[in-house]
Amino acid sequence: MKIGLDLMGGDFAPLAVLEGIKLSRELMTPGVELCLIGNINFIKKNHNEIYKDLLKEPNISFVNAADIITMSDSPTKIFSQKPDSSLCLGFNLLNSNQIDVFIGAGNTGAMMVGAIYTVKAIEGVLRPTILSVLPKFEGKFNIILDVGVNSDVRQDVLFQFGLLGSVYMKLIHGIENPKVGLLNIGSEKEKGNLMAQAAYALMENTDKYNFVGNIEGYDLFFDKADVIVTDGFTGNVVLKTLEGVYRIIRKRQIKDDYFKMFNYENYGGTPILGINKPVIVGHGVSTPIAFMNMIKLAKTVLENKMVEEIKTLFTSQINI
Amino acid sequence: MKIGLDLMGGDFAPLAVLEGIKLSRELMTPGVELCLIGNINFIKKNHNEIYKDLLKEPNISFVNAADIITMSDSPTKIFSQKPDSSLCLGFNLLNSNQIDVFIGAGNTGAMMVGAIYTVKAIEGVLRPTILSVLPKFEGKFNIILDVGVNSDVRQDVLFQFGLLGSVYMKLIHGIENPKVGLLNIGSEKEKGNLMAQAAYALMENTDKYNFVGNIEGYDLFFDKADVIVTDGFTGNVVLKTLEGVYRIIRKRQIKDDYFKMFNYENYGGTPILGINKPVIVGHGVSTPIAFMNMIKLAKTVLENKMVEEIKTLFTSQINI
């Protein structure tokens, strides 16, 4: 398998990505190759030591990206204005089968745009989505999706998030028949805003996954569900609220094994679920450990043929 | 001032309310009277000691409520089916000026229904709302509103929440020119769902309060705003997520002065903002300390003429 990495994506790139690769030696099992996409001049100039080290590795190759994306570039215009950026080249390599998975911690919006315009949504998937991880008090964790790319959704989109999340938990984390819950403001079916009520009505009778009803805010950290479905607005607010809590836990110098798991580094990134090729999106502030965990996740996604499984599910039932 | 209390509202009622009253001696300054509304037979039978003690107090009176609300009663039907319940009697006493403020920790939905059908929304207020408190890392706290009674809102409703929250922070907590932020998923004005974008457009040019832009989840605990505006769905999810965090903090036996402030007891309850008379709604699990703090809040609301101030603001500018 050939794993492509955007060396220039993320607040601490390219150094954090390069160091993450160095941490990933154990993941470089036979057959695993890395294709590193970045501005070679910039890397040589700033990180020549580590660049030369990596050049020596037989299963690592570099692709030069002449364009560099800056904060002032609009995520939606990168493809027309910076076609030789690492982000655009990565998606083109993925789309032309020169890499099998693409990892990037650049702007999430730009990663979504890239994914949708190159490898495209799987037929039948209304809105590709991203997820995040919430550690459970009892051990293991929940996933929540969407967490920011689909702010305005319809009930059928929420319904599909349940299916996408369910497949992810089963294939990537080995949870048989994952419990799918709908994030809501009460436990009864008639609770919530109009969208949640309509989504509940679609979910409650499905045989496509194991719907367990509404999940309230205080259930997010407990074993009431494995997959928690919500719109990208609510999901993003929840995610960032918990980032705020984690910042305070650190500022207050609280050492606790449970809250330690709120450190996103442990999870690396999120796959974009519902597109035709595997893509892993990292957090903007990704560290070397986060990049190592993204490489690990990319391998698991490929080994378990996650994309193929989702394609099969959706092409066999276009009209869900 | 005559403060009415629903003795039967809340999971630990009536005992928690009765004990809360005993804790409130210092609040019973000259001119303060309590009117306690509850099922006298039930109270005599179960809490006769404390009942007899309170009967002796010259500034405490009891009103008997023959009907008792149970879990199976529908919040919207209580007024037609249980007219002699403490909740209904409380609103009737308030509406007929026999009490000046009504405090109750019964079902929040029923409290809202009661408020809207008896004392009614102030002319010009589109949707009365409730708030919650978020401690700031730097000291003091933010308020967030709505937190659950208005799941589906329009942008003009969000705009008004900013005004209602601003008046509350100024009058009740003495914050001059409170900073009002809009809960959103990015800092730029074009971020968010359609509703947040439309609300931003209304808020950004107002001279009615001090709008400071978008507030993200991780800003909730910091001094970026004083008043954080959101719809009742998102607000309720945030609130319950933080209740979940607080439960874990306690389960993990973490002792921390900042997180201690997440204990809702400290704040007691929330006024219903935007109605013609003062009403304080308590959390279902309110303890004696919470009831004491609700009595304190009721006094502050009356002393600072919060309702009159909101009426003046809205009648002078119906068309906001």
* Per-residue confidence (pLDDT) for residue A320, from 0 to 100: 46
Kindly report the nearest CA distance between residue A3 and chain B, in angstroms: 31
d(CA B219, CA B122): 32
- In tens, the pLDDT along B66-88 reads 999 987 888 888 999 999 999 99
Concatenated DSSP letters for B119-138? Answer: T-BPTT-SS-B-EEEEE-TT
pTM here? Answer: 0.94
Q: Which residues of B216-253 are buried (b: 16+ CB within 10 A; e: fewer)?
A: bbbbbbbebbbbbbbbbbbbbbbbbbbbbbbebbeeee
Residue type, B198: A
Q: Do B245 and A152 touch (CB under 8 A)?
A: no
Of A137, A183, A194, the CB nearest to B248: A137
* Per-residue confidence (pLDDT) for residue B246, from 0 to 100: 94
- In tens, the pLDDT along B150-209 reads 999 999 999 999 999 999 999 999 999 999 999 999 999 999 999 999 999 999 999 999
Which residues in B have their CB inside 8 Å of a CB on A? 137, 148, 151-152, 183, 185, 192-194, 196, 216-222, 230-234, 236-245, 247-248, 251-252, 254, 256, 258-259
A172, A82, A34, A240: which is closest to B220 by C-alpha?
A: A240
d(CA A133, CA B19): 42
Its ipTM equals 0.93
Interstrand relation of A279-282 and A101-104 (parallel, antiparallel or unpaired): parallel
B271, B5, B276, B4: which is closest to B119 by C-alpha?
A: B276
Question: In sequence order, which ranges of chain A are alpha helices (DSSP H)?
Answer: 15-22, 40-55, 78-81, 86-95, 108-117, 155-173, 194-203, 232-251, 257-260, 288-303, 306-315
Matching residue, tokens 């595997």 = A278
Q: List the single best residue of B144, B233, B246, B255 to mutate versus A (max A Cβ within 10 A).
A: B233
Q: Backbone phi, then psi, for A64, in 5-degree steps? A: -80, 135
Of all residues in chain B, what percent carry a pLDDT higher than 70?
Answer: 99
Q: Which residues of B270-307 are buried (b: 16+ CB within 10 A; e: fewer)?
A: bbbbbbbbbbbbbbeebbbbbbbbbbbbbbebbebebb
CB B189 within 8 A of CB B214: yes
- Which residues, listed in sequence order, are joined to residue A134 by a DSSP beta bridge? A142
CA distances from A11 to A25, A240, A286, B79 (A): 23, 17, 7, 58
- Does position B318 have pLDDT exceeding 80, yes or no? no
* Per-residue confidence (pLDDT) for residue A317, from 0 to 100: 61
Q: Which residues of B10-35 are buried (b: 16+ CB within 10 A; e: fewer)?
A: bebbbebbbbbbeebeebbeeebbbb
* Per-residue confidence (pLDDT) for residue A99, from 0 to 100: 98
Partners of residue B233 in chain A, C-beta under 8 Å: 185, 192-193, 196, 234
The size of the A-B interface in CB pairs under 8 A is 119
Average the pLDDT over B127-138 and give the result: 95
d(CA A234, CA A146): 8
Residue numbers of chain A with a pLDDT score lower than 70? 317-320
CB B108 within 8 A of CB B282: no
Kindly report the nearest CA distance between residue A269 and chain B, in angstroms: 19
Segment holding B19, helix H or strand E: helix B15-22
* Per-residue confidence (pLDDT) for residue B320, from 0 to 100: 46
Kindly report the nearest CA distance between residue A253 and chain B, in angstroms: 10
